[in-house]
Amino acid sequence: MIPDVMILAAGFGTRMGALTSDRPKPLIEVAGRPLLDHAIAAARDGGGRIAVNAHYRAGQIAAHLSAHHPDIALSVETPDILDSGGGLKQALPHLRTDPVATLNADAVWDGPPPLAALTHAWTPAMGALMLLVPRENAVGRQGGGDVAMDAEGRLTWDRSDAAFVHTGAQLIAPGPIAAHPARAFSLRETWGALMAEGRLYGTVYPGRWADVGHPDGIRQAEEMLTHA
């Protein structure tokens, strides 16, 4: 299976402070290249068609894609940002597979291709499959974990330090996203519904992942890559 991939890149980047005063967060550089290009590299390694969403300073992302990745579809959210679920819903016409994959534009990977780990573990009984790391392998993470996982791989919410961290990478069936009645909504709504049905699963990534959602995350991600 080769899933089409949605890269979520429409956030405001407010935690980045002055770094996003003149550019969107996905164009901030880590180890010499924009965060968006790190995500695109991960998407190309095991993925099919790629779509990227944008809102804040969307014109800069459009120019970057046009110059460097002209085959990638851009989904501009205007006048309002659509949140993670609404952003994926708007981009679904660019994506043809079931399931589709998502990646966050503010993450850097140290290890094997994340999409390979997901596609290897996917089964048709799943509604969504999150790619997880233990808290100690979540470089730059602020706060605890996200989910606990049972012996069958089913997930429940857990914010403790002993919980797994969701990397933002996932496979998810597009049907519930397309059928959601709202234009703007969070994927957390869909995950919650799947969790209640026992169809939200996880698999553990055998490497490290860096959260570059705050300024110090840049240094921490670069150190992770230097010591890979």
Residue 24 exposed, middle or buried by CB count within 10 Å (0-12, 13-18, 19+)? buried
Convert the pLDDT of each residue in 94-138 to its tens digit: 999 999 999 999 999 999 999 999 999 999 999 999 999 999 999
Give me 220's structure tokens: 């921490």
Convert the pLDDT of each residue in 40-50 to its tens digit: 999 999 999 99
Strand pairing class (164-172; 100-104): antiparallel
Convert the pLDDT of each residue in 171-216 to its tens digit: 999 999 999 999 999 999 999 999 999 999 999 999 999 999 889 9
Answering whether pTM is above 0.85, one says: yes
Instruction: Specify the pLDDT at position 168.
Output: 97
Strand stretches in the chain, DSSP E: 5-8, 29-30, 33-34, 50-54, 73-76, 100-104, 107-110, 128-134, 138-139, 147-149, 155-157, 164-172, 200-204, 208-211
Give me 35's structure tokens: 């965060």
N residues, the chain: 228
CATH of 5-226, one of 3.60.20.10, 3.40.50.11750, 3.90.550.10, 2.120.10.60: 3.90.550.10
- Amino acid of residue 61: I
Convert the pLDDT of each residue in 24-40 to its tens digit: 999 999 999 999 999 99
What are the backbone angles phi and psi of residue 212, rounded to the nearest 5°? -105, 50
